[in-house]
Amino acid sequence: MIISAAAAIEINKQALNELNVFPVPDGDTGTNMSMTINAAASDLRKTEDPDLEKASKVAASAMLRGARGNSGVILSLLFRGISKRLKGSEVCDGVLWAQALQEGVDAAYKAVMKPAEGTILTVARLSAAKAADAARENNFIEFVHEAAIEEAVKALADTVNQNPVLKKAGVVDAGGKGWVVALEAMLSALQGEDVVLPEDGAVTQTKQSADFSDFSTEDITFTYCTEFIISRENDRDPENLRAFLSKLGDSLVLVDDDEIIKVHVHTNDPGKALTEALNYGSFITVKIENMRLQHTEKVLSEQEAAPKIAKPEKPLGVVSVCAGAGLADVFRNLGVDQIISGGQTMNPSTQDILEAVNKVPAETVFVLPNNKNIIMAAQQVDALTPKNVVVIPSKTVPQGITAMLSFAPEGSVEENTTALTEALDTVETMQITYAARNSDFDGHDIHEGDYLALCGSQLFGTSQDIKVLIKALAEKVRDDGKEYITIYYGQDVKEKHAQKAADIFADICPNADVNLLSGGQPVYYYLISAE
């Protein structure tokens, strides 16, 4: 079901991305949901003979670590709740499935500080409630799941009326649509019609791999994997050999094609298996492998290759997310231990952040997401590492830089948490980027390729002339009485043009201290910090 859902979301990824009503290029919903669920699909494909509980556990763990963006984190939480409810179950009926869907909703709502209506949360909540009603009427899982889909489709259509931005754009919520796509694909799988990618479709590759350390050698009942091929030399019935070997071990496969007999069996006594087989003919090939030894070697190999968790050498450390060599240098100079390359168009996963945190040789690690769409992924890390993780909810790079100016390496966790969090509100962030699509947004008629100016998360203005926006932002800074202005110019801006932008600010804001630095960031021509 999950593999089908992953394929369906991948197929519909671009359509989901197109539902993004905000014209700024960002980590789109479809991409984030696809990368998240395909982390699970990748691990499931590597899992041998997964039962219901094992499959749901593998999927939930992979999605948690692979979660990207808010939509990806919420999707992972929905499946984490489902996995929790299915624990200990060998089969799933309608009642259990309805309970699992509700458990997923509860997990997602619990993790979101301020749940908003007209989102994936609404769609999941209403569909789970409908599933519960259906389960009281009929315990057949397909009946219950179909009811959940029917309600999800209705709830999705209503998201346009619950969110003013969606209503104005005339589109439904992208995350909610992604959940509907997943539910529909899961139903197809239930009915024996798996959703598969077209031949030219490429599923997003993930870093996850099967974790053999979850299994001990005690889990291996029979030590030797025994395989052989016999050239048949008599009329003995191979079914008698099958009966003998079935009592000797498990995982038995016997193929008889009249001329040869091919056998695969796991057993503690390969000698008996071979001796009995000689009664049917002579050996063509024989292979015996010690699975306990193979397992031990595999685990040791994975442990040696696995990223080590750095031993604490100091009480406090910091991880920051940013894109651009110049911005990375700024953070390092301020004392950040690990930089995660990412931001607006490429949200790092929970696993990416976890790996960075584990590399910091500190007992407590502060994380600066510097993007509102990365905060939730960062908040999942604390449960995955022995280190104490504190997420400072910075939504922009200038906020993260200002927070670092307040960081006191010798201070306490509590003092730094307070200082860094309070620092976020002391800086105003302004940004100039471009429109990724045509849009009628917040009273602005926007055309693809137009320059866009943002103040915080609000659209400030649009123009086909970037100088018009630079001047308008400078006037706003002057009128707001800001005294310290830092302009970080992006990778697509030449230094001479950036200097002209700084000159405009200096002319319009004569009483302010104006600084110009190369940030090297993609997407944004200018990031402007005003205090």
Is 478's pLDDT higher than 80?
Answer: yes
Q: Which two three-digit tokens encode residue 268?
A: 């503690």
Distance CA 107, CA 80 (A): 7
Three-state helix/strand/coil letters over 130-149: HHHHHHHHCCCHHHHHHHHH
Which DSSP category does 88 fall into? T
Mean pLDDT, rounded, for 363-382: 92
The pLDDT assigned to 200 comes to 45
The pLDDT assigned to 367 comes to 97
CA angle 458, 19, 463 (to 5 degrees): 40
Q: In terms of pLDDT, which residue wins out, 228 or 501?
A: 501
User: Please, are residues 68 and 383 in contact by the beta-carbon 8 Å criterion?
Assistant: no
The pLDDT assigned to 318 comes to 96
Q: Identity (one letter) of the amino acid at 423?
A: A
Question: Quick one: which of 35, 1, 6, 2 has its CA closest to 197?
Answer: 6
The pLDDT assigned to 465 comes to 94
The pLDDT assigned to 496 comes to 94
pLDDT band (50, 70, 90) for residue 354: very high
Distance CA 82, CA 77 (A): 9
User: Please, are residues 102 and 128 in contact by the beta-carbon 8 Å criterion?
Assistant: yes
Supply φ then ψ for residue 435, to 5 degrees.
-80, 125
Contacts of the segment 507-512: beta carbons below 8 A, 24+ positions apart = 507/474, 508/471, 508/474, 508/475, 508/477, 508/478, 509/474, 509/477, 509/478, 509/482, 509/485, 511/483, 512/477, 512/478, 512/482, 512/483, 512/484, 512/485
Q: Is 49 left (phi over 0), alpha (psi -120 to 50) or beta?
A: left
For residue range 167-201, list pLDDT tens digits in order.
776 788 889 999 999 999 999 888 888 776 664 44
User: Please, are residues 320 and 331 in contact by the beta-carbon 8 Å criterion?
Assistant: yes
User: Please, are residues 359 and 310 in contact by the beta-carbon 8 Å criterion?
Assistant: yes
Distance CA 2, CA 41 (A): 6
Q: Worst-scoring range by mean pLDDT, 310-314, 332-336, 503-507?
A: 310-314
The pLDDT assigned to 403 comes to 95
The pLDDT assigned to 218 comes to 47
Q: Where are the alpha helices (DSSP H) in 360-512?
A: 375-379, 397-405, 413-423, 466-479, 495-508
For residue 406, the tally of other CB atoms under 10 A from its CB is 18
Q: Worst-scoring range by mean pLDDT, 101-105, 218-222, 284-288, 471-475?
A: 218-222
Composition of the chain by helix, strand, coil, percent to 5 = 50, 20, 30
Distance CA 486, CA 5 (A): 45
User: Please, are residues 155 and 128 in contact by the beta-carbon 8 Å criterion?
Assistant: no
Q: Is 281 left (phi over 0), alpha (psi -120 to 50) or beta?
A: left
For residue range 331-342, list pLDDT tens digits in order.
999 999 999 988
Place of tokens 């197109």: 18
Mean pLDDT, rounded, for 157-171: 81
What structural domains and CATH numbers belong to the chain? 2-190 (1.25.40.340), 217-298 (3.30.70), 314-426 (3.40.50.510), 428-530 (3.30.1180.10)
Mean pLDDT, rounded, for 217-221: 52
